[in-house]
Each structure stands twice: as C-alpha cells, then as structure tokens.
Amino acid sequence: MLQWGQVRDVLDFLPVRQLLLLVIVGVIAQAIYDLKFHPLAKFPGPKIAAVSNVWWAFHSISGRYPWVIEDNLKRYGKYFALSIFYIKQYDPNYISGDVIRIAPNELVFITPQAAKDIYLAQQNHLESFVQVGYDALDTGDNGITGEPNPARHREIAKRLAPAFSNRNLIAKEPTIQKHMDQFIQKMEQLQGSNIEFRQWSDWLALDLSADMTYSQDEGHVRDMKDSDFLKFTLRLNRFLTLSQISRKFNLAVRVILTPFVYLAIPPSTWPSIPTLLKKAAKDFQQRIDRRGNTEQLDYVEQMLPIDHPVPGKKELFHVQNVAGQLLLASWQPLANQFYIILLFLLKDPDVYANAVSEVRIAYDDSGEITLGSVAGENLKYLQACVSEGLRLHAETTDGLPRISPGAIVDGHYIPQGVICQVSYFAATRSPRFFHEPLQFRPERWLPHDDPRFDLAFAKDDLKASKPFSQGLRGCPGGPIATAIIRLFLARVLWQFDIETTHQDISFDKDFKFMTFWERPDFLIRMKLVTRQKE
C-alpha cells in the first residue's frame, strides 16, 4: 500500500509541485476564460457545463439526457447579451429558453427556426453544418449514418436513394405482410395469455428489418426467442454511449478513459463478440452469393445490383457497414413505435375506442389492409395516432450534433467550430408549440374540418414535430417507417381486442435513453375479435 509519507516525498520533489501548481492554475484560467471570455460565454446554462464536458458526459450516461436538456431549457430563460455578461429576462409569458450551453463548446436550441438554420443549411448541395462523425467501433468506415465528410455522404446517400423509393416500398410489401401475418398468427395462438410486448416489438421489428435489408428471415417471431445478435446488441448500450462520450475529450483524457469504455461491455458478452462479428461477415457473404436470387428488392440488392460486378474488399466492407446501419436504423425505431403506440392507446380508453372503430369500419377483410390502403382518407384517426406516437417518442434524442461553419442560428451568430444541436424532444413536449404537450392527443393531427378535431389544438405548431429530422441527413426511411407502423396498428386493431395490466408504465419515469432506448416490460393480452359471417 502506498503510504502518505511516500506521497508527500513525491509532492516535495520540486518539479512535481511546480507541475501540479501549473495544472491547477491552467484549469482555473481555462474556467475563467470559458465563463467570461469564450465566444459562448453569453449563452445561459449550468456553470459547470460551461467549464467542463463532465456535466454533459454525466447526463449522457445517466439515461436521463433528453429530460435533463428539456429541464435546463425551461430553467434558463431567454437572455440579453450585455457585453460579456448576460441577465435573464423575467418575462411573465416566458415558457422556456431558446438556447442553452451544455458544454464549453456546445449549444442546444429548441425552436423550429433553429432546426431549419442547422439542418437545412447547404452550399452546392452539401450540408454546411457538418455532422460530428460517429464510428463507435473504430472500424475505419463510417457507413452512411456516421459519415462526416459532406461530399462522401452525398455520394453514398445518392446511391442509396432508390432503396427508399415508392417502387421499392411496393416491392417490399409481400415481405412486410409475411412478417405481419406471422405475428398475427402467433398472437392468435397466444390469445388470452399475458404477452410481454417489449420483446415482441423487438422480434417483429428486427425480423422485418433484417428481411428488408438482407432478405434473411431471422426467425425471432417464429421461434419466439432472442437471437444472440438481439441479446448482445442491446447489452452494448452503455459501451456505445461511453465510446461516443470519450470522443468529446482531448487525446490524453481519451487514453485514460478507453479501458473504462471497454469495461462497460458486460463480461458475459465478451466471448460472443468474435462469434457475432464472424456471423455478420458470413451472413453478408452468403447474401452476396445469393445476388439476383432473392424474392424481393432488398437494400443490399439496391447497393450491389446483379448487373454490376462485385466490388473489391474495401468497398464490400463499406456496403456491409451501410447494411448493418440500415438494419439498426430500421429495427430500433420501429420496435419503439410498435411499443409506444400500443402503450399510449391502452392508457386512454376513448382514444383506443376511436382508433378501433375507425379501423373496423374501414375494412371488411384483413386482406384489404395494405401499405397503400392505410394511407387512405378513411383512416385519418389511425394516421393521427401514428403521428402522435412519433411526436411523443422521439428517436434520436442525443440531439443530432453538427459543427457550425460560422453562421446565424435562430438570430444568434454562432462561431465556426461550435457544436450545435436541436432538442426535438424538448420542442415536441413544449407548451410553446403544442396544447397539452405531454398528453397523447391524436385529435391535434386531424384536418380542422374533421368532426373529431378539437379546437383546443388549433394553434398547435405541428411542424415543430420532426420525428425524421430534415435536410440532407434527414431520415430517408421516414415514408417506409410510417407506412409500416400504420399497417401494424391497423392489422392488430382489426384482428384483436387488446388490454393491459400495465397501465401504470410512465414514459417519463420508466424509460431511459443512451444510444438505444431502454424500455420496461409491458404485459398485454390479445383477444381475437369474433365477426359474424354474412
């Protein structure tokens, strides 16, 4: 054991003391600069956040990040910039602030104008606010979702664009319906018994996503159990979050943090990682070998059409990465939406009854429920339920950070290099933009001449809800995702009466967000609707 005497001897050694003193003086000087002289010094926010990334890092790993940002946007009001000081504007009509500083070099905005200024800004068809970049596993390839180079991103996005066309969606319908059929059949078999829907939402969404991506049936719904991929990926939540956090610190701190980042991978998962990586590579190779022999136009077919030669190793690895990202980008949000929409519906008997009655009037036979028909004029309430689920359960609540090129955002000049993001989560839950913002009220999305529309929502700013973000990096899967969620809801409500014993689950208390959402168990019971034959 190290004795205090030994520590004192080291400290008594002159260069060590001088070095320590230098570090302390340096930290204090940096803090004074950050608080008083930094270009962001005039922006409000917690003082600790202005002088260190630790505040941001702590909340990012707590699972409460979106709520903490929302609280702080409420707490720190609009401000006047007065030289290097700011004062809060105590406005009696004040509801929440427009911008806060959450790290020495980072701001969060809330208004739709800020979102436009950041995410729609472009020059020569390339984004001006560049994405910060994200390659958690340091594979050396950013795929599409983590590609920070605007020109390279545009090239990849252009190549992928046809995969999200209407033609492609229609081509995928038999695959999507096949998985919905399988799910409905299982629910029929299990009717009357308690079903833990969190895992079913993952099973259905992952089966759908894997098939749409690689034409591979992962069989979760069929076998009613987690695959290793599903089990282990969800366990990497903390690791992936820490990996992202460590990037915000300088190299010296990163080197110290790296072992802790890897320690966040649960030991039970370690032995499986090489097997999973091998399986991913093998599955991808098998998919390449099946080129031209798939039943549907999946995303891989789109990226590597049969009339093109198989590219070299580097490009193949890139395509594999993009395919993996498409799988994740599709699976997680779909699973969350299947879950959240049933949760909100079952919490409110009137909303549930309205949705059920609309669907059962619209269709005489389940075979009529298609991706096209769920967009029909006679299903406005169902569509409103989906829009409301997407509003209340935002997907990418880490704020979609971008680097300012030196530009005006929401009326403020933001110097080059400052990281900016928008909290869509706080915006969609703010009374500035929505009446009864925390309530699930599909009525707000109905056309104003619909008899079910409620005038209380007439002033809602529906454009403040941007579940798929916007601009060159906005979600290309938005239309496909919306169609699938509507289809899921229509098919389930047409076929079953649903009830839950878990009405007390609270989105605000029981959910956590890191890289993925963590959701509590959700027990439901489905009962087949009996229809009289004519």
- Give whichever of 76 and 424 is closer to ligand HEM, judged by the CB atom: 424
475 labeled binding residue: yes
- Give whichever of 176 and 351 is closer to ligand HEM, judged by the CB atom: 176
Supply the DSSP string of 439-467, one letter for each residue: S--GGGGS-TTSTT--GGGTT--GGG--T
DSSP H/E element including 317: helix 313-347
- Give whichever of 144 and 524 is closer to ligand HEM, judged by the CB atom: 144
Site for ligand HEM contains 50 (CB under 6 A): no
- Build a one-symbol-per-residue string for 435-474: x at contacts with ligand HEM by CB under 6 A, - elsewhere: --------------------------------xxx---xx
Site for ligand HEM contains 144 (CB under 6 A): yes
Site for ligand HEM contains 244 (CB under 6 A): no
Q: How many residues bind ligand HEM (CB under 6 A)?
A: 23
Number of Cβ within 10 Å of residue 285's Cβ equals 12
Return the residues of window 334-373 that contact ligand HEM according to CB under 6 A. 334, 337
Query: d(Cα 175, Cα 480) in Å, to the nearest integer?
Result: 13
What minimum distance in Å lies between the beta carbon of 81 and ligand HEM?
Answer: 29
- Give whichever of 106 and 395 is closer to ligand HEM, judged by the CB atom: 395
Region of residue 320 (left: phi > 0; alpha: psi -120 to 50; beta: else)? alpha
Site for ligand HEM contains 428 (CB under 6 A): no
The residue from 396, 397, 421, 428 that contacts ligand HEM (CB under 6 A) is: 396
Helix/strand/coil percentages in the chain, nearest 5: 55, 10, 35
What minimum distance in Å lies between the beta carbon of 323 and ligand HEM?
Answer: 10
- Give whichever of 79 and 445 is closer to ligand HEM, judged by the CB atom: 445
CB closest to ligand HEM, residue no: 477
- Using DSSP's 3-state secondary structure scheme, residue 87 falls into strand
Encode burial over 193-226: b for 16+ CB neighbours within 10 A, e otherwise: eebebbbbbbbbbbbbbbbbbbbbebebbeeeee
The residue from 51, 184, 481, 498 that contacts ligand HEM (CB under 6 A) is: 481
Site for ligand HEM contains 333 (CB under 6 A): yes
What is the radius of gyration, based on Cα positions, of the chain?
25
What minimum distance in Å lies between the beta carbon of 161 and ligand HEM?
Answer: 10
- Give whichever of 346 and 390 is closer to ligand HEM, judged by the CB atom: 390
User: HEC string of 159-215?
Assistant: HHHHHHCHHHHHHHHHHHHHHHHHHHHHHHHCCCCCEEHHHHHHHHHHHHHHHHHHC
Q: Which residues are annotated as a binding site for heme?
A: 475
Which residues in this chain contact ligand HEM in the complex, by CB under 6 A? Answer: 144-145, 157, 326, 329-330, 333-334, 337, 390, 395-396, 400, 467-469, 473-477, 480-481
